[in-house]
Amino acid sequence: MATVTRLTTREHHEHDGLVIEQVRQCLYPHLEQLGAEKLIKGIVNETASRCTYLYPNADDEGIFLATGFMTVQFVNDDIFDSAAILENIQDSVGTTSG
């Protein structure tokens, strides 16, 4: 029979550090290619700490996967938001100059 232990706040914090480092090692090389490595640093820290509370019974692998997916989604949203803003600026410049 498996024993389940609930993490204390301190254990949550230590868990976060491990997950943050794993996500950095996995995602940073790919995000660097997109120029998003600076954007992601704060997002990884915030997301990893959030995931340990959203999924308190998850193991390290589960937290790692949840953090990775959520981080990529945040970056993806930011890229598409930036593209939409740029398009609106270009459209407004095109209508005022033409």
**CB distance 31 to 37 below 8 Å:** yes
pLDDT score of 38: 67
pLDDT score of 12: 46
Residue that has been written with the tokens 């609930």 in this structure: 6
Q: Is the pLDDT of residue 98 over 60?
A: no
Give percent of the chain above pLDDT 70.
Answer: 63
Pick the more confident residue, 40 or 71.
71
pLDDT score of 46: 74
Q: What is the mean pLDDT of the segment spanning 14-26?
A: 69
Grade residue 65 by pLDDT with cuts at 50, 70 and 90: confident
Whether the full predicted model's pTM is greater than 0.75, yes or no, is: no
